[in-house]
């Protein structure tokens, strides 16, 4: 076996072994012509023997046996193993800027381009523009799962094999929000469970704050969810020592002061198991369970609304935890957020009446019979989960009427929920306000008073 003929370029035999690279532009049809090039075939027996060639001269390919190969462009940047490093021209490196911005270059090409950028200001400016453009094409996303991802996966699975006992529709927001919070807590270590978390709510005319830990927040959710559990005949997580007739705040303070509470992640298992038990129970309870009353001490809610209220508080406190540990956490899906806003809007007339009896809101201007139209505030919620609601101002029993509208308020959906959670001041909440200023003020403060510890 002999080596390459003398005078033949070394890379002519090594070119097929080159590493894969991003090909540059080439004339149309070049690939077709290159594919037709084949080695010269031996001359037929009757053909005249070719004349002897000087020693060292490369053999020529007859024109009849192959198409003449076109002139090649600049040498590729990425040499294969064993090949010499060819000098890279400015034009070649500039042509690779687009692939470099997309992180599609080989390691050798990336090094060559970045070395070139340190000394070429025009190419460096163009590289920055290309990298910014790539950022617009591929926006950064948080590691948090999309709110509807779990629902889409379950819907696809159940579409193939429907569940015999499905979760009631009114319990879906609670199912989703507890799953999202559990996913946030899954990788917490001992240090994270002791992270300080401020709990915020609104009381009468001023905001209130209480500091606890991540474990304390989950304990708070556990104890208030226990009100729903006892309404369904399940065990109270506080056991026999639960304060009789205690509302959410009294039960939470009892849990925080008990010996069972510790700033560790063990409370997560208890909370998660109770959430699963609640969902299993209502799934088997039948249609009448939605009307069962849940006693919160100062008020009561139907079971369907209680599950929605627990989903709302689960999201709000998950947001508190995420801010404390500096982790992004998005709002619920649009349909679930709409139902949470609807619950708050339905509770506003009663909350306004309570504040009026306590002297915290202006007096009623026109008392009407139950079911009769009365003064109304039109609430417009924008963004995901948005919609429009008419709020009766003078009596919870009055019927809201667009003909009797005296004021209008526009709010973003997430901002309205933050107002109802006591996380936003009523003075800073409304985006648009028109009409009776006193009515607007009373409704915004009533929305903030829906919050509690």
- The secondary structure of 99-120, three-state, reads HHHCCCCCHHHHHHHHHHHCCC
The pLDDT value recorded for residue 30 is: 42
What does the pLDDT look like over 227-272, one tens digit per residue? 999 999 999 999 888 888 778 999 999 999 886 666 677 899 999 9
The whole-number pLDDT of residue 245 equals 76
Q: Is 67 left (phi over 0), alpha (psi -120 to 50) or beta?
A: beta
- pLDDT tops 60 at residue 75: no
Where is pLDDT greater, at 229 or 88?
229
CA distance 171 to 111: 55
pLDDT of residue 145: 63
pLDDT higher than threshold 80 for residue 10: no
Predicted confidence band at 134 (pLDDT cuts at 50, 70, 90)? Answer: confident
Instruction: Quote the CA–CA distance of 381 and 384 in Å, as a whole number.
Output: 9
pLDDT at 281 over 60: yes
Average pLDDT over residues 419-444: 91
Pairing of strands 399-412, 432-435: antiparallel
Query: Is residue 155's pLDDT more than 70?
Result: yes
Assess whether pLDDT exceeds 60 at residue 351.
yes
Query: What's the confidence (pLDDT) of residue 67?
Result: 42
Determine contact, residues 419/200, Cβ cutoff 8 Å.
no
pLDDT value for 13? 42
The C-alpha atoms of residue 207 and residue 394 are separated, in whole angstroms, by 25
Task: Tell me the C-alpha distance between 274 and 226, whole Å.
Answer: 8
CA 83 to chain CA mean position, Å: 48
Q: What is the DSSP letter of 241?
A: G
Q: Work out whether strand 387-392 and strand 399-412 pair parallel, antiparallel, or are unpaired.
A: unpaired
- pLDDT computed for residue 9 by the predictor: 43
**The pLDDT of residue 237:** 92
> What does the DSSP assignment read for 124-192?
HHHHHHHHHHHHHHS----SSPPTTHHHHHHHHHHHHS--SSPPPGGGHHHHHHHHHHHHHHTT--HHH
pLDDT of 18 over the 90 cut:
no
CB of 449 closer than 8 Å to CB of 351 = yes
Question: pTM for the whole thing?
Answer: 0.67
Higher pLDDT among residues 185 and 45, named by residue: 185
pLDDT at 11: 44
pLDDT for 139? 61
Q: Which of 48-57, 108-117, 121-130, 301-310 has maximum average pLDDT?
A: 301-310
| pLDDT tens per residue across span 217-229 | 999 999 999 999 9
State the SS3 of 322-346: HHHCCCCCCCCCHHHHHHHHHHHHH
Q: State which H helix or E strand residue 206 sits in.
A: strand 206-213
Point out which residues pair with 207 in neighbouring strands. Answer: 202
Question: How far apart, in whole angstroms, are the C-alpha atoms of residue 203 and residue 113?
Answer: 61
């Amino acid at each position: 076996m002999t080596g390459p003929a003398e005078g033949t370029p070394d890379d002519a035999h090594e070119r097929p072994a080159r590493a894969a690279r991003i090909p540059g532009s080439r004339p149309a049809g070049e690939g077709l012509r290159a594919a037709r090039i084949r080695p010269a075939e031996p001359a037929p027996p009757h053909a005249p023997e070719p004349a002897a060639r000087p020693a060292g001269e490369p053999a020529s390919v007859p024109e009849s046996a192959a198409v003449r190969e076109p002139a090649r462009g600049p040498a590729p940047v990425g040499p294969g193993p064993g090949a010499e490093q060819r000098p890279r021209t400015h034009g070649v490196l500039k042509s690779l800027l687009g692939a470099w911005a997309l992180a599609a270059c080989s390691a050798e090409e990336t090094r060559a381009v970045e070395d070139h950028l340190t000394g070429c200001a025009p190419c460096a400016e163009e590289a920055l523009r290309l990298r910014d453009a790539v950022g617009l094409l591929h926006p950064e996303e948080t590691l948090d799962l999309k709110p509807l991802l779990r629902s889409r996966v379950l819907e696809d699975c159940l579409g193939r094999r429907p569940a015999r006992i499905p979760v009631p529709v009114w319990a879906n927001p609670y199912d989703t929000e507890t799953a999202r919070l559990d996913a946030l807590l899954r990788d917490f270590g001992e240090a994270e469970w002791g992270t300080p978390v401020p709990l915020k709510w609104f009381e009468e005319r001023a905001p209130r704050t209480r500091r606890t830990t991540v474990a304390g927040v989950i304990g708070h959710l556990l104890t208030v969810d226990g009100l729903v559990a006892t309404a369904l005949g399940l065990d109270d997580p506080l056991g026999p020592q639960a304060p009789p007739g205690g509302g959410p705040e009294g039960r939470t303070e009892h849990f925080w002061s008990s010996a069972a509470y510790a700033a560790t992640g063990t409370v997560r298992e208890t909370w998660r198991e109770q959430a699963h038990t609640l969902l299993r129970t209502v799934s088997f309870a039948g249609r009448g369970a939605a009307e069962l009353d849940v006693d919160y001490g100062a008020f009561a809610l139907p079971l369907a609304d209680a599950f929605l209220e627990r989903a709302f508080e689960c999201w709000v406190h998950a947001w508190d935890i995420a801010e404390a540990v500096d982790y992004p956490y998005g709002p619920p899906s649009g349909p679930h957020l709409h139902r949470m806003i609807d619950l708050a809007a339905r509770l506003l007339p009663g909350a306004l009446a309570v504040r009026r009896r306590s002297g915290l809101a202006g007096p009623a201007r026109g008392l009407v019979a139950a079911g009769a139209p009365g003064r109304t505030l039109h609430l417009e919620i924008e963004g995901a989960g948005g919609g429009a609601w008419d709020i009766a101002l003078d009596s919870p029993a009055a019927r809201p009427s667009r003909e009797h509208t005296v004021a209008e308020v526009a709010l973003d959906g997430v901002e309205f929920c933050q107002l109802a959670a006591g996380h936003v001041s009523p003075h800073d909440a409304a985006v648009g306000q028109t009409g009776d200023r006193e009515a607007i003020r009373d409704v915004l403060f009533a929305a903030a008073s829906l919050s509690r510890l």
